[in-house]
Structure 1
Amino acid sequence: MSALVEVILPVFLVIAAGYVTVWRRLFTGQVMDALMSFTQSFAIPVLLFRAISRLDLAASYDPALLISFYTGSAAGFTVGLLGARYLFKRPWTDSVAIGFGGLFSNLLLLGLPITERAYGAEALGPNFVLISLHAPFCYTIGVTAMEFAKAEGVGLGQTLMSVMRSMARNPLVIGIVAGFAVNLSGLTVPGVVNDAVDLLAGAALPAALFGLGGVLVRYRPEGDMKIVALIAATSLILHPTITFTLGNLLSLSTGQMRSAVLSASMAPGVNTYVFANMYGVGKRVAATLVLVATGLSILSIWVWLAILDYTTG
């Protein structure tokens, strides 16, 4: 019970505060969009820059960590894709968009603050490793599958190039790349710049959580609950179970295991809806999934924290 009260609920209370603020029209949706723009385009990239620039890269990028997490992620996509197609008879394009919900976990806005509250800021190294590869991995799989499903349009190669150009302009990716550049070059960041970076990084997660709550107001449950339940179970149960099992088989360290399993247990991120909206398919399921799974994750994260505390001490 202490994990629920001390670790999980404070994070979700901040999200709830943002939700209620927009729901009761104390702030408009445009205000929350501006806040999310600040966090996604400025504060969180600074947070990622700081983290990557200070990582011990040789020690942090462990293949066992990546295999444990991303095998579960790919399995979640496969189950969601095939379940949507063969259990619920959805078109292949809808199925890809729905399967993306089992692929793209909310590592950034939920995974980071919950891991930090549970195990401390010093435990976040593996989280940042996973985050640095998350968007390229997920969008490459999603776009490739969608282009095969469509079998029309401009073609896979051109679409992937367009996505890569878009990611290259993405502030989150720019923050990660800048962090790698500083880390690998051995450059020393002036103290006054470091202090400014720390101030901005400190504002990133609280502001993003509050903004996330405000954004969730527009994602209303609108049906398709059976398929939403399937993808939510895939995201909240199957993915972390595979990660936990592989983590034990591959002998992840305690810190790696905690970060990988907690990250895997997070609800689908808002990018699930962004991807569906990009192709104009499966939008209702994606929007409902983001809202419902985020609420359910309060309990599922609590369970996984208990399992990790029991197995890792």
Structure 2
Amino acid sequence: MLEILAITTPIFLLIGTGYLAMAGRLVTHDQVQGVATFVLYLALPSLVIRALTENPLGEVINPRYLLAYGLGSLLVFLFAIGLAYRGQRQPLASAAIQGLGMAASNSGFIGYPIMAMVLGAPAAIFLALNMMIENLLIIPAALILAEMGNQAGKGLGETLRQTALRLVRNPILIGLVIGLLLAVTGVALPSPLARVVEMLADAAGPTALFVIGGTLYGLKLTGMVRDMTQLVLGKLLLHPLAVLGVFLLLPGSTDPLVLAGGVLMASAPMISVFPLLGQRYGLGGVSAAALMACTLLSFFTMSLAIWLVTRFGLLPPT
């Protein structure tokens, strides 16, 4: 418990720094948005590039993990969209972002440190696998649907054209394409450029958490409780259960370590840049509040997940 608290406490301190900076008028709303722009257009694409090029693809591919975790995440993503779009009549863009919040874990800043503590060296492999699933499947699907939702009401041809134009300018997908090309071809960036990408990637976590804190200042939860509750329950309960269910339903046996890795990663809160993406589609407030609640509650849910995978023999007792 204390080890997990040691990992999550700096996250809350960084969020609190952003909140206090706004409360103390050290920064303005426009300045916080400027930092958010830095994260979206520079730091986050660099993080994606680094995640896809840090390890050779052939060394991290685990088809069973990719299938089970990817399918479980996709099922949760589609469920969230159906609930919001069909059941609650919310706009498609809003539904897509809610699906992203339920199905994409904070693999890098919370999932990986906790898994490294529990699983050791294999945690790096699970991080690379998760980054592939999130950056090749969940995040692109959410952004494509959100962009299509923003073009609703236009003809099909115009909708597709406008969506394509916005997507080719989307910094996250640009980073994804660059990272994939580098990973597939094996081409290495020149040393000075690689160092720049490394520095920008390292800045993604702290700056994103600072922006979340600034966004939370002055936030009123009126009218947000339902959506926030859905996001929290979907991410912390439904997502790990869905991933576990797919693992158990797959034919053949699964390496207990692989199963434990999938469940623990799915138990992490949503990606730290979720509020920044949500803000682009009118969900900045509820997404920031949901991330804050998820990060706080994940201390308990991830502790429970660690106890369960140990209790059922998936990990050696510590």
TM-score interval for Structure 1 and Structure 2 normalised by the shorter chain: 0.7 to 0.9
Match of 1:139 among 143, 168, 185: 143
Render the CA deviation track for 1:211-267: whole Å, top value 9, x for unaligned. 222233364311252454234312321122111222344436736753664246424
Q: What are the residue-to-residue correspondences of 1:183-222 with 2, within 5 Å?
A: 183-217=183-217, 219-222=219-222
* Cα contact 1:53–1:181 (8 A) shared by 2: no
Aligned to 1:303: 301
RMSD, aligned CA: 3.5
Matching residue of 1:130: 133
TM-score by length of 1: 0.77
Structure 2 spans left out of the alignment, 5+ residues: 117-122
Whole-angstrom distance in 2 between the partners of 1:199 and 1:78: 35
Instruction: Quote the Cα distance in structure 2 between the aligned partners of 1:82 and 1:184.
Output: 35
1:34-183 to structure 2, matched below 5 A, reads: 34-80=34-80, 83=83, 90=88, 92-94=89-91, 97-98=94-95, 100-105=97-102, 107=104, 110-120=106-116, 122-123=124-125, 124-133=127-136, 134-141=138-145, 153-156=153-156, 158-183=158-183
Q: CA deviation at 1:128?
A: 1.7
Cα distance between partner residues in 2 of 1:253 and 1:297: 26
Residue 104 of structure 1 aligns with an amino acid whose one-letter code is G
- Supply the distance in 1 between the matched residues of 2:300 and 2:229 (Cα, whole angstroms): 19
1:132, distance to aligned residue in structure 2 (A): 1.7
Question: Which residue in 1 is equivalent to 2:275?
Answer: 270
Shift of 1:5: 1.3
Structure-1 residue corresponding to 2:120: none
Q: Give yes or no for contact 2:239–2:266 (8 Å, CA) kept in 1.
A: no
The question of 1:241 aligning with 2:241 is answered yes
- Paired with 1:32 and 1:106, the residues of 2 have a C-alpha distance of 27
- Pick 1 or 2: higher relative contact order, CA cutoff 8 A, min separation 6: 1
User: After the TM superposition, which residues 223-242 of structure 1 pair with which residues of structure 2 at under 5 Å, given as runs?
Assistant: 223-242=223-242
Q: Deviation at 1:113?
A: 0.6
Distance 2:184 2:156 in 1: 33
Q: Is the 8 A contact 1:74 1:103 kept in 2?
A: no
Percentage of matched positions with identical amino acids: 22
Q: d(CA) in 2 for partners of 1:219 and 1:70?
A: 34
CA positional deviation for 1:25? 1.8
Residues 23 and 125 of structure 1: is their aligned pair in 2 closer, same or farther, counting only changes over 3 Å? same
Aligned residues: 298
DSSP 3-state at the match of 1:222: coil
Q: Distance in 1 between matches of 2:267 and 2:102?
A: 7
For residues 198 and 85 of structure 1, the distance between their equivalents in structure 2, rounded to whole angstroms, comes to 38
- Displacement of 1:35 after TM fit? 1.5
Give CA deviations for 1:20-67 in whole Å, capped at 9, x if unaligned.
Answer: 221332221222212222222112222221221233324545454344
Residue type at the aligned position of 1:294: M
Greater Cα offset, 246-255 or 190-199: 246-255
User: 1:301 Cα shift?
Assistant: 4.7
Where do 5+ consecutive residues of structure 1 fail to align? 278-282
